[in-house]
Structure 1
Amino acid sequence: MSDSISTDNTLNNQPVEKIDLSSMSYNEQFTYKQNFLKNLLSPFFNGELDAYSSPEKHYRMRAEFRVWHDGPATYHIMFDQSTKQQYRVDQLPAASILINNAMQSVMAFLNLGTDEAKELRAKLFQVDYLSSTSGEIVISMLYHKVLSDEWEACALKLKSALSESLSNCANVDIIGRARKVKRLINRDYINEALKINQQHYTFKQVENSFTQPNAAINIDMIEWVSKNGESKNSDLLELYCGAGNFSVPLSHYFRNVLATEISKTSVNAAQENITNNNISNLKIARLSSEEFVEAYNKTREFNRLADIRLDDYDFKTVLVDPPRAGLDDGTLDLISRFDVIIYVSCNPSTLIENLNTLNKTHKVVHAALFDQFPFTEHIESGLILKRR
């Protein structure tokens, strides 16, 4: 599975003791993570840590599996993180109930021995699942072969079989992927529906692009940020906005929002999410954080900002949710000029590295732990920093 499930083994170039959480109860490992994060943040923050626990089962809205062919049998496999040995997976308790049901139905179809099953099995090496809390699922099948019209006809039969076998499924779509080829059996996205601060939102989520994997924790993160970062009298800048997961609901808590994202697929989805949620004070720019720094500093002009005047914004707050590598020096310098910094982190190591810089200009006033991945060492955290 693509998500990292452990913290890095160094912090500030010092080794970090690796703890096996598999033998702990959920409450024990959740307490361990809270203590770990408190200790990590202690040079910067001594207040109360807000902590959000996850459902213990069926919290993952997406999952990826390699496929193993053993004679006439085909099944999902995963790899042990320690030994790197493969093991068969017929059910995944962490995944949504819909994904678990789809796993069984897909493999049952592939193992029928029919001509359709043989065509869909041949050179299949991976199956990915993306589901929603509203009962939609997209199944991506990855191949080491050319995908023909015959493959598409067989995939249509699989889609029909899944529509009948999957109870409580509002919609199922199939994607075939091979080198430089993508065949759609209807759509390549799901429509997620989330209730955030008593308001309903819909989000188009496209397969093979980033989405928050734990829907319940995702809602907790958005509500925590809106509660602690709200500023209706000023504007919000968000970097790394994806498909608008934060910026769409946060548009109700700021006067105006400008969000940036480099992925064209995510930007297009974000534009649809703005329209579908009737948001009027949010604009998206397709820029990397490095490019936005250049635009903000007026060292470079971008046609992608032709209809956006940065001087019209009164930015007081910036939200960053960077990849595991954290923030580059230019972005750090940029956000240090804002009154309030909202920092959502998936990597404690790079978070601390960035805090060593941001602590010179800002003070951490709120901190939170979001347990995106129970029973792993992975830690998602959120910080609110205010200018000293």
Structure 2
Amino acid sequence: MTSSYQQQLNDKVERISAQFNEFNPPELEVFESPASGYRMRAEFRIWHTENDMFYAMFERNDDQQKQVVRVDTFDIADQSINDLMPVLLDALKTTPQLSNRLFEADFLATLSGDMLVTLIYHRKLDEEWEAHARALAERLNIKIYGRSRGQKVILTDDYVVEKLTVNGQQYAYKQIESSFTQPNAIVCQHMLEWACNAVQPTTRDLLELYCGNGNFTLPLSTRFNRVLATELAKSSVYAAQWNIEKNAVNNIQVARLSAEEFTEAFNGDREFRRLQEAEIDISAYDFETVFVDPPRAGIDAETLKLLQRFEKIIYISCNPDTLYDNLKTLTQTHKIVKFALFDQFPFTHHVESGVLLEKI
């Protein structure tokens, strides 16, 4: 496993180095993942037969038709998920009130030991289901969350609290069920440390676009005087604000704006009541650095123009192809001074990248 992991990682390094060679970046920093047991999320269909039920996934055969694949263990998932899978399944099998028309089981684990299991059904969940689910959650010391069409049953919480360590300091993060979180917690810690170490502490301010639940926001706040973070999704904004308060951080404001909306506000093209209600004055900030972690589609043209006005840009990318396209614009005004590869998903084509750019 170790030798095959190193080979696949070397292949990624060669591919990314060749793809970005035209930008003349510095030597690529490479951050490895455990070869197995690295994934903190797992989603399985529950497959019912006449006399049995089991976890299942699907794969396509040579005719591109879906085939059911039974899953008894899931090597890429965290050990806590693998330990829970058979115990939970046995309990479900022996409890008709929990197994009846059960469609899917999703696991959300943490390094901190918190575990949430979402059970999804093709039927309405009643008080009997709730009583049995609550008893099972207490027996297994996990959180259980029930869902069906138009119905959500939260027994205790619909989230876990993860604890990540960055440069010796621990941060607590609320991670809400079905909201985006980094699936590889070990590599996530590498990413957070790399981003923090990419810049020296300064008395100036940071702008962050696409902040999510504040994953990068919290540790980055230690390097800057103040941070203005933007995010559009309400659930992520709520989680970010919870995380800021939980970690007793007092130099972060969160604005519920998309990157495009922030660009309009920053340029004075449009006023937003959401900024006024949150008592956020963009003009009061002394921005030096901007941090972006955009979706796979990358950054739109107007936001790229905005980034070019900052002295430093920290760009975390989940798609090398859109990063490559965006760098064609950004390297017209900036040069790459740090370049990193994070192996978030071993044995797949997927690559996470980090780039620090400074104004020429």
| 1:263-282 equivalent positions in 2, closer than 5 A | 263-282=233-252
User: 1:354, 1:288 → 2: CA distance?
Assistant: 18
SS in 1 for 2:104: strand
Bigger drift between 310-319 and 140-149 goes to 140-149
2:48 is equivalent to residue 69 of structure 1:
yes
2:329 is equivalent to residue 347 of structure 1:
no
User: 2:9, 2:25 → 1: CA distance?
Assistant: 19
- Counterpart selection for 1:193 from 150, 163, 166: 163
> Which TM-score applies when normalising by structure 2?
0.95
Offset at 1:81?
Answer: 6.4
Give the aligned residue type for 1:260: T
Percent identity of equivalent pairs: 47
Offset at 1:229?
Answer: 2.5
SS in 1 for 2:295: coil
2:351 is equivalent to residue 384 of structure 1:
no
User: 2:11, 2:357 → 1: CA distance?
Assistant: 24
2:65 is equivalent to residue 86 of structure 1:
no
Offset at 1:31?
Answer: 0.7
Offset at 1:61?
Answer: 1.1
| 1:29-108 equivalent positions in 2, closer than 5 A | 29-80=8-59, 84-108=66-90
Higher relative contact order, structure no. (Cα contacts within 8 Å, ≥ 6 residues apart): 1
Equivalent residue, structure 1, for 2:283: 311
User: How many aligned residue pairs are there?
Assistant: 355
- Counterpart selection for 2:97 from 96, 103, 119: 119
Offset at 1:231?
Answer: 4.2
Unaligned runs of 5+ in 1: 1-21, 164-171
Unaligned runs of 5+ in 2: none
2:216 is equivalent to residue 238 of structure 1:
no
Q: Deviations over 1:197-252 (max 9, x none)?
A: 01111111111101111111111011111111334121111111111100011100
- Counterpart selection for 1:147 from 116, 121, 125: 125
SS in 1 for 2:222: coil
Q: Deviations over 1:44-103 (max 9, x none)?
A: 134210000001121111111112111231111112367543211111111111111221
SS in 1 for 2:80: helix
Q: Is the 8 A contact 1:176 1:182 kept in 2?
A: yes
| 1:339-378 equivalent positions in 2, closer than 5 A | 339-378=311-350
User: 1:247, 1:339 → 2: CA distance?
Assistant: 19
> Which TM-score applies when normalising by structure 1?
0.88
User: 2:121, 2:261 → 1: CA distance?
Assistant: 35
